[in-house]
Chains A and B, each alone.
Chain A
Amino acid sequence: MSMTTSPAPPTGGHDLKGVDDLALAERLAEVEAPPIPKSQRRLGRLASSLGWAFVGLAVFVAIWALGANHVKNLPSPGATFSALRTLLADAFHDGGPNDKGIGLLLQASLTRVFKGFAIAALVGIPIGLLMGSSARAWKAMNPLAQFLRPVSPLAWYPILLIIFLDADKASVWVICLTSLWPIVLNTAAGAASVPRDQHNVAKVFHLKRTAYIRHVLIPHTIGSTITGLRLSMGVAWMVIVAVEMMSGKTGIGNFVWNEYNGGNYDKLTASIIVIGATGLVLDFIFLRLSKAVRTQEAHS
């Protein structure tokens, strides 16, 4: 048990008295030694990251090349890259519904993803806020969410076809259902983590509901909501490829399937690279967004 409240007498500090000349000189020498500039250290870190990334990539390409030598129809890295060059050279070629450049295919797929994603965000964020701030809403919706979440989004596709009678609309809604759960559950977790003292401040000062949402709920939730959005976008981009294989509508997933059926295996592997790169860019955008928000909302 601690009984004293008076502060301890000051000890230590930068008292140089009694230090002999040699020690003093050593200290001064320490001070004089210039630290490595920040920019140089950052450059070093970047070089190290890039270097090791290159090592990982090289190992992967080597295994791939080895595999391509042994598997009859598997395109080699070289063949894939020349196919990629051909695809990118005429990315916005438009020769009718079954003959579009890779850029237009990406655009079609991304449009579906963004539509479904936007609906999921508009619906999911309010639901998540409600679930996280009301124990009753949580109890009412959490079991349902946990039950529906593990259902493969593709299983919804036929049901959505029955409802919308249109492959394109059904695809958008599959993406919406895919994106919904990470957004809802992350937002709910964020809203549930509002510190109790902040609740109490709202009660003591009689904050109105709108003020509470603006000044307490949203600032404490937005970080996890953006994490949810980022996860959703990642899954949505994976799922759209599968959905388009089923729907047969113009898009990158459909392209993958068509090139397989047409025996253009080098274009098949090239399109995987395009899909991966697009996913990487999407993730990077959300990562930056979440960093920006964290800086802006920095809590005490």
Chain B
Amino acid sequence: MSLEIRDVWKSFPHKGETQQVLRGISLTVERGEFVSLIGHSGCGKSTLLSVAGGLISADSGTVSLDGDVVTGAGPDRAMVFQNYSLLPRLSLEKNVDVAVASARPEHSRAERAELVQRYLTAVGLWEHRAKRPHQVSGGMQQRCAVARAFAVEPRVLLLDEPFGALDALTRARLQGQLIELWQNESETEIVLMVTHGIDEAILLSDRIVVMSNPPQPSIVDVIEVGIPRPRDRVSVLDSPQFRAVQERLMRVLTINGEKAA
């Protein structure tokens, strides 16, 4: 299984000019791979994620899953958004349940209930299932959003700065849960994540795609992380591989940041 993005172009009108946000991007994410997109704001990383998710259509180029071109959004490429985006009127349990019922109508009620319980339990929210989004913390809302995404059994998981609005401790815990769900609890094999965090990208990813603003090309570097899993979030910081990737990322981002500024 693979997610293949081939020669994608996308422009937006900006202050009377056309801005080429995605400039001929090609990227293949293989089965079992966790890939992060990193770059300064405006580099188009979120746009690329939205194109992959089918929420924005590209000017040209294709996105395909296992060779089949996909158009439009769908639960085979489930998404987690930065600001949680749970449905405000529903309990956490109903939020997951409604998503599964809509995305996977072929499931029986019992199968659905099993999925809902499994993923809410996995993110530690089963006791809080009756609460509504505004009654729980941002971290809990995002855990529910992660459970919702996994519960529709997507082939690809797309994450748009999922930990950006969370405090450091909550972020660390949710990162752990995400990796656990991806590796052991679900059939989902491919993860594509947009992030601002260098350490977060290294800790979670197999490959890091560094994106940049014009006049540079859209993708300026692709870095293999190569740290074996499972990774311990404390000791990994001292590993030479971590240091090497960190240094290379810093260098690429700083050079491009200075050119863009």
Contacts and interface: CB of A to CB of B under 8 A. Distances in A.
Interface in A187-205: 195, 197-198, 200-201, 203-205
Interface in B147-203: 148, 152, 168, 197-200
A214 B200 CA distance: 37
Nearest to A200: B55
Contacts of B87: 198, 201, 215-216, 219
Given A201-B85, A215-B90, A219-B89, A299 B75 contact: no
Given A3-B253, A205-B103, A211-B98, A200 B198 contact: no
Contacts of A42: none
A298 B131 CA distance: 13
A41 B226 CA distance: 63
Given A5-B198, A5-B199, A205 B85 contact: no
B250 A300 contact: no
Interface size class of B (residues with CB under 8 A): 35 or more
A243 B81 CA distance: 53
Contacts of B133: 299-300
B250 A205 contact: no
A25 to B, nearest CB: 35
B84 A207 contact: no
A204 B250 contact: no
A5 B200 contact: yes
B67 interface: no
Contacts of A216: 87
B55 A204 contact: yes
Contacts of A297: 88-89
B85 A203 contact: no
A96 interface: no
Interface string A201-223: 10111111001001110111000
A300 B55 CA distance: 23
Contact of B74 (A7, A204, A215, A298): A204
B71 to A, nearest CB: 12
Given A7-B168, A300-B141, A205 B102 contact: yes
B78 interface: yes
Nearest to B148: A205
A11 interface: no
A216 B85 CA distance: 10
Contacts of B22: none
Q: Give the 10 A-B residue pairs with the shortest CB-CB distance, closest first.
A: A203-B73, A7-B168, A197-B85, A5-B199, A5-B197, A215-B87, A205-B99, A298-B134, A219-B89, A299-B88
13 contacts: A195-B85, A197-B83, A197-B85, A198-B85, A203-B72, A206-B75, A206-B102, A206-B103, A207-B99, A208-B102, A215-B90, A220-B88, A300-B138
Given A214-B89, A299-B133, 9 more contacts: A3-B250, A3-B254, A200-B53, A201-B85, A201-B99, A206-B103, A215-B98, A298-B88, A300-B138
